[in-house]
Amino acid sequence: MPATAQSQAVVHHLPYLRRYARALCGSQKTGDAFVKQVLEVVVADPSVIPDPETARVRLYELFQTVWRAAGGLTADDSPSSTDIQSRVGTLPTEDRQALLLVVMEGFTQTEAAGILGVTEKDCATQVERARQTLAHQESMDVLVIEDEPIIGLDIANIVESMGHRVVGIAATQEEAISLARSTSPSLVLADIQLAEGGSGIEAAKTILGDREIPIVFITAYPERLLTGQRPEPTYLVTKPFAVDTVKVTIAQALFFRRTDTLAAE
């Protein structure tokens, strides 16, 4: 595809399509595989992206086409081990998609409806149904890794508003590892860069070496971890974050309750 305005727009929006795909699938590998298929469609026929202004919506529409052609993604046949897995598992896939498109990706109801191929009214119903389903969850122990005290408290308040317990707020890499080992959290929310030159990614790798738990990364530079060129995190929240975005990402992470290999930044 020539270096046109359309192709530049595709490159710009691609990391965020990966974020959506990974969150929807609960896996970097699976999500990136779907995005690769979208890129193959675009390379084969660049006219599917008619102009840069509509490139973002068009990319997600193409993803939806590829997704449907593959039959979508179904949860494992094994029984859900947690209340939140049961709740999210009962959601129609379209409901989760609508919620992620509106809350995580920031599309309007009209845009999300167009991407999913439903009416705007139906899309609004899907989003609201998903919100209500996720409103009551099994309480989990959550570790927050954040070196900015105010941001750390904000994240902790969001977690607690969902009914979960915050077992600690770590500001450094060493403190994060120590707290994880002493509290055995069910979920970790981690910043990328920590105090004293520490790395949230390195802390996460050590934590995952002890036990498998979902980790949500919170960063001001998500595109750095959405390249699709190496093992990367599945769940990413962009700073400055919206409360609903954090909540929805937590719900998705707890639904799949599995982890991918992480590479140091």
Judged by average pLDDT, the poorest of 1-15, 114-128, 185-199, 232-246 is: 1-15
Q: What pLDDT, in 10s, does the model give residues 133-179?
A: 776 667 899 999 999 999 999 999 999 999 999 999 999 999 999 99
CATH number for the domain harbouring residue 170:
3.40.50.2300
pLDDT of residue 6: 86
Q: Examine the domain organization and report whether 126 and 154 are in the same domain.
A: no
Q: What angle do CA 143, 81, 247 make, to 5 degrees?
A: 45
Q: Examine the domain organization and report whether 110 and 166 are in the same domain.
A: no
Asked, for residue 134, whether it belongs to a domain, the answer is yes
Q: Examine the domain organization and report whether 249 and 215 are in the same domain.
A: yes
pLDDT of residue 75: 41
- Could you tell me the residue range of the domain that residue 25 belongs to? 1-73
Asked, for residue 34, whether it belongs to a domain, the answer is yes
**pLDDT-based confidence at residue 232 (cuts at 50, 70, 90):** confident
Cβ-based neighbours of 28, under 8 Å, separated by 6 or more? 22, 231, 232, 233, 234, 260
Asked, for residue 264, whether it belongs to a domain, the answer is no
pLDDT of residue 136: 65
Q: Examine the domain organization and report whether 123 and 25 are in the same domain.
A: no
Among residues 106, 138, 170, the one where a domain terminates is 138
Q: Examine the domain organization and report whether 127 and 156 are in the same domain.
A: no
Among residues 109, 138, 167, the one where a domain terminates is 138
Distance of alpha carbon 245 from alpha carbon 21, whole angstroms: 15
